[in-house]
Structure 1
Amino acid sequence: MTDRIALVTGASSGIGAATVRALAGAGWQVHAVARRADRLAELAAEVGAVAHALDITDTMALERLAVAVAPDLLVNNAGIGAGIAGLAGASEEDVARTIGVNVTALLQLLRVFLPGMRARRRGHVVNIGSVAGLYPNQSAIYGASKGAVRQLSRNLRLELRGTGIRVTEIQPGRVATEFYDAAIPDDAATRDRLKRTAIRELAPGDVAAAILYAVSAPAHVNVSAIELQPTEQTFGGVFFDPLDA
């Protein structure tokens, strides 16, 4: 059995499931964490991962998990976009859920798993951020949560200096996942508007490949951040189309 142990959150679909497959294929023993037990069980059976059906906002469940599993790699992928259509129309619950999952639960995961990594003087934390945390976008709530992930990753890198623990932030653009279906379950018109795109989006496997690249680097190499976008998606600057002149 491999001695490389990984724990991946949000593992039942999308980027999380693709990451579980990629890591298992590379020889890691993978612990897959998500709420949807049925999907998680199917994935675990497919790749030989260990399934943990739990809600990452349940801090007591995270504490128990940290006693049972001592990962060398923690991939913090779980995230939601409640209220992504705009802050003015968002509910109190939308704000609480997005910050609770994307920021608070992430901090609690790090709090419970980092002491073991520090004691072993090795480990790798991969936080899934977003280009929404780098550039202005249509959602103040989601962008704020991913901006927090960006600053957290940078601060954590400094905080963990001298421990042998690496920190990487992955910053994807548009990815073909169930994100908008989960973010806006009750407003089909808004959901379909936000999902609509003429570009070829990244596949979850593209992001998983970036994660595998970062964690496969030699121990003395820290890949601090990877920003990846579809070729036809860009951010920043001012563009003038000569055909409009």
Structure 2
Amino acid sequence: MSQLPAATVVSGASSGIGRAIAEALLGQGRTVVNLDYAAPQWEHPKLASFQADLTKEDETRQRAADIAARFNVTALVNNAGATRPGTIDTATTQQLDDVVGLHLRAVLLLTQAFLPSLRACRQGRIVNMSSRAALGKPERIVYSATKAGMIGMTRTLAMELGRDGITVNALGPGPIATELFRQSNPEGAPQTERILKSIAVGRMGTPEDVARAALFFLAPENGFVTGQVLYVCGGTTLGVAPV
């Protein structure tokens, strides 16, 4: 049995949805490790933060090794993300490389780095942050492609790791009021108004809405739910997502 302190790693927890998930976990008394390119502007006695550019393989590997040397990682939330808006006419291979590195390669590297401790605890939990855009979204060609790739990775990991007691699930947030959302959808812009009108529950989602869904997947007692995608989207996927 490891003598290192048990912890949940949340990538991209300096702000937005990642911060909300981290704060919810801290509220349960858990130790949380934040892995982000920017240092958080908030503190908690049980929060440890590491900085890394997760689009860079060597940097990701090194920080993951640093975390594994200091903590017994029993859960992992692959939350860090970037939108890189663009259509097929404007998207660049550099944008594609960036989001592949962040949404797919980093997920692979972090999962591999923490597998020994995830397996050892016999109830490891992995949550991957996909998106409603995985079902298709105009002007998000590279973003939607990699977020859909995360779902394929989630399902395959669930099949491979289930016998080890590890569950692997994905969340697909829809319109969530974060700084990242506002950057791509300014208040009052026509596309923002269209999004608001498409939400069945009549309001934008909050980071806390997503955090509560993450807590369900991360709970030790929920070991019979794996390989699933939960769209936290206010109903925007109705008529789009497969039954």
Short-chain TM bin: 0.7 to 0.9
Count residues in correspondence. Answer: 224
| Residue 217 (structure 2) aligns with | 214
Map 1:147-226 to 2 at 5 A: 147-180=148-181, 194-196=191-193, 197-199=195-197, 200-216=203-219, 218-223=221-226, 224-226=228-230
Tell me: CA distance 1:151–1:7, structure 2 relative to 1, closer, same or farther (3 Å).
Answer: same
Letter in 2 for 1:178: E
Could you tell me which amino acid in structure 2 is paired with residue 55 of structure 1?
Answer: D
Q: Which runs of 5+ in 2 are unaligned?
A: 198-202
Distance 2:128 2:72 in 1: 18
Deviation at 1:123, TM superposition (A): 0.8
Q: Which consecutive unaligned segments of at least 5 residues does structure 1 have?
A: 238-245
Post-superposition CA distance 1:110-138 (Å, at most 9, x none): 111112222343310011111222x2221
1:34 Cα deviation after fit: 1.1
Matched residue type, 2:170 = E
Distance 1:23 1:88, change over 3 A: same
Aligned position for 1:91 = 92
Tell me, in whole angstroms, the C-alpha distance in 2 between the residues paired with 1:122 and 1:234: 31
Cα distance in 1, alignment partners of residues 120 and 25 from structure 2: 24
Separation of aligned partners in 2, 1:204 and 1:221: 25
TM-score by length of 1: 0.81
1:29 to 15, 28, 31: 31
Aligned to 1:242: none
CA contact (8 A) 2:83 2:143 kept: yes
Residue 108 of structure 1: aligned partner: 109
Query: How far apart are the structure 2 equivalents of 1:87 and 1:73?
Result: 36
RMSD: 2.5
Matched to 1:136, the amino acid is G
Verify the 8 A CA contact 1:180 1:194 in the aligned structure 2.
no
Contact 1:21–1:47, Cα closer than 8 Å, also in 2: no
1:142-188 Cα offsets, whole Å, 9 max, x none, are: 11101110010000000012101111111111111122466x6xxx9
* Cα distance in 2 between the residues matched to 1:23 and 1:29: 8
The answer on whether the counterparts of 1:131 and 1:171 sit within 8 Å (CA) in structure 2 is yes
Rg bigger for which structure? 1
1:110 corresponds to which letter in structure 2?
T
**Contact 1:180–1:195 under 8 Å retained in 2:** no
Within 2, Cα distance between the matches of 1:150 and 1:9? 17
Q: Distance in 1 between matches of 2:162 and 2:89?
A: 40
Report the CA distance shift for 1:14/1:86 in structure 2 as closer, same or farther (over 3 A): same
Runs (4+) off by over 3 Å: 192-197, 234-237
SS in 1 for 2:73: coil
Q: How far 1:219 sits from its partner (Å)?
A: 4.9
Q: CA deviation at 1:195?
A: 4.4
Q: Is the 8 A contact 2:91 2:141 kept in 1?
A: no
Aligned to 1:53: 51
Which residue of 2 is the match for residue 241 of structure 1?
A: none
